[in-house]
């Protein structure tokens, strides 16, 4: 079953004012069909703040939209920070709202990871510290727009990052010891593995934080109990791979990769629509 504590940090477009479709810029590329400046509404954004091509984003050249994750910041800014008053209704606050949104996104991303860490039995020794960090971060998300814009997010992130690193060590400790005894391949944090052939490899318990796995062949690879925080999985092939027990992996990361119905994912992650029908 999905981890309920993480559901509040998922996208809820129904209660958002299409902030990612307006506030964020993008350039014409393999991920986006056109250029768009920050603060300018996407041409596909409707008056009800829904996307007119939502079900066909990939085929229409907007693959980048399918892999973006606000971690629930959109609805938080829309319904809490601005009390349900949208930027069309109050254009004077539009620019401020668009500037607040990416900061809130960072805070919600941290909350998503902290709550995942707190849900793990292995992190019991630091549960109090994790809870304290969650409460402190939640307080930041409840600030006024002006106060949010003045936040020193990198300073707060240092505290959170230390706890997430400790979480990774606790979770992977036993597996890392086994891997060392079996002399399995070691992948270090932030490794450049673009296009790497890792098919069928035993990478259980790996630290894949910040690893660049673009277009890597990870078919039938054992990735259990691995740390995926910040890993770039764009176009990586996860067909038949086993990611059960892995931590800090998000839906957007999986959405950016390829896989099939044989890929084993953590319960909080769903098989992307574009995987359906794929064969091993």
Taking only the tens place, the pLDDT of each residue in 230-256 is 999 999 999 999 999 999 999 999 999
- Segment 147-171 shows an average pLDDT of 97
pLDDT at 195: 97
In a domain, 59, yes or no: no
In a domain, 204, yes or no: yes
DSSP letter at 30? S
Question: Predicted confidence band at 176 (pLDDT cuts at 50, 70, 90)?
Answer: confident
pLDDT at 214 over 50: yes
- Which tokens go with 85? 């008053």
pLDDT at 180 over 90: no
How far is residue 231's CA from residue 252's CA, in Å, rounded to a whole number?
11
pLDDT at 279 over 60: no
pLDDT at 280 over 90: no
DSSP letter at 257? S
- Segment 102-124 shows an average pLDDT of 97
pLDDT at 57 over 90: yes
- Domain extent, residue 250, equals 184-280
DSSP letter at 248? S
> Which residues, in sequence order, are CB contacts of 140 under 8 Å at separation 6+?
107, 148, 151, 156
Contact 21, 45 (CB under 8 A): yes
- 54: closest CA among 116, 46, 80, 142? 46
In a domain, 3, yes or no: no
**CA gyration radius for the chain?**
19
* Coil vs helix vs strand at 51: strand
Question: Predicted confidence band at 261 (pLDDT cuts at 50, 70, 90)?
Answer: very high
Angle at CA 210, nearest 5°, toward 105 and 249?
Answer: 60
In a domain, 258, yes or no: yes
Contact 33, 96 (CB under 8 A): no
In a domain, 211, yes or no: yes
Q: How many domains does the chain have?
A: 1
Contact 240, 219 (CB under 8 A): yes
H and E: helices and strands count for the chain = 8, 0
pLDDT at 209 over 90: yes
pLDDT at 137 over 90: yes
In a domain, 45, yes or no: no
Whole-model pTM?
0.91
In a domain, 200, yes or no: yes
pLDDT at 277: 62
- Which tokens go with 138? 């939640």
pLDDT at 189 over 80: no
Cα-Cα end-to-end distance for the chain: 25
Where are the strands (E) in the chain, listed by range? Answer: none
Question: Predicted confidence band at 11 (pLDDT cuts at 50, 70, 90)?
Answer: confident
> Which residues, in sequence order, are CB contacts of 46 under 8 Å at separation 6+?
52
Question: Predicted confidence band at 32 (pLDDT cuts at 50, 70, 90)?
Answer: very high
pLDDT at 139: 98
Question: Predicted confidence band at 48 (pLDDT cuts at 50, 70, 90)?
Answer: very high
In a domain, 232, yes or no: yes
Contact 28, 35 (CB under 8 A): yes
- Segment 61-66 shows an average pLDDT of 94
How far is residue 61's CA from residue 73's CA, in Å, rounded to a whole number?
25
CA distances from 90 to 84, 87, 224 (A): 11, 5, 48
Question: Predicted confidence band at 16 (pLDDT cuts at 50, 70, 90)?
Answer: very high
Q: What does pLDDT average to over the chain?
A: 92
């Amino acid at each position: 079953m999905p981890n309920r504590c993480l559901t509040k940090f998922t996208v809820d477009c129904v209660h958002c004012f299409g902030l990612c479709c307006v506030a964020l810029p993008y350039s014409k590329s393999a991920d986006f069909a056109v250029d768009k400046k920050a603060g300018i509404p996407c041409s596909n954004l409707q008056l009800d703040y829904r996307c007119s091509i939502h079900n066909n984003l990939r085929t229409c050249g907007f693959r980048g939209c399918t892999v973006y994750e606000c971690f629930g910041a959109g609805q938080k800014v829309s319904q809490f920070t601005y009390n349900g008053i949208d930027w069309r209704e109050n254009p004077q606050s539009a620019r401020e709202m668009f500037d607040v949104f990416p900061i809130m996104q960072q805070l919600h991303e941290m909350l998503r990871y902290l709550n995942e860490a707190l849900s793990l039995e292995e992190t019991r020794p630091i549960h109090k510290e994790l809870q304290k960090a969650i409460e402190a971060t939640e307080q930041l998300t409840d600030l006024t727009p002006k106060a949010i814009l003045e936040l020193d997010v990198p300073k707060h992130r240092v505290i959170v990052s230390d706890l997430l690193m400790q979480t990774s060590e606790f979770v992977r400790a036993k597996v890392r010891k086994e891997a060392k005894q079996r002399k399995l391949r070691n992948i270090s944090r932030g490794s450049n593995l673009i296009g790497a052939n890792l098919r069928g490899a035993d990478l259980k318990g790996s630290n894949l934080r910040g690893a660049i796995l673009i277009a890597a062949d990870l078919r039938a690879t054992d990735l259990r109990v691995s740390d995926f925080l910040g890993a770039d999985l764009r176009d990586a092939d996860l067909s038949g791979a086993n990611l059960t027990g892995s931590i800090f992996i998000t839906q957007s990361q999986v959405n950016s990769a390829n896989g099939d119905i044989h890929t084993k994912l953590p319960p909080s992650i769903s098989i992307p629509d574009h995987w359906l029908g794929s064969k091993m």
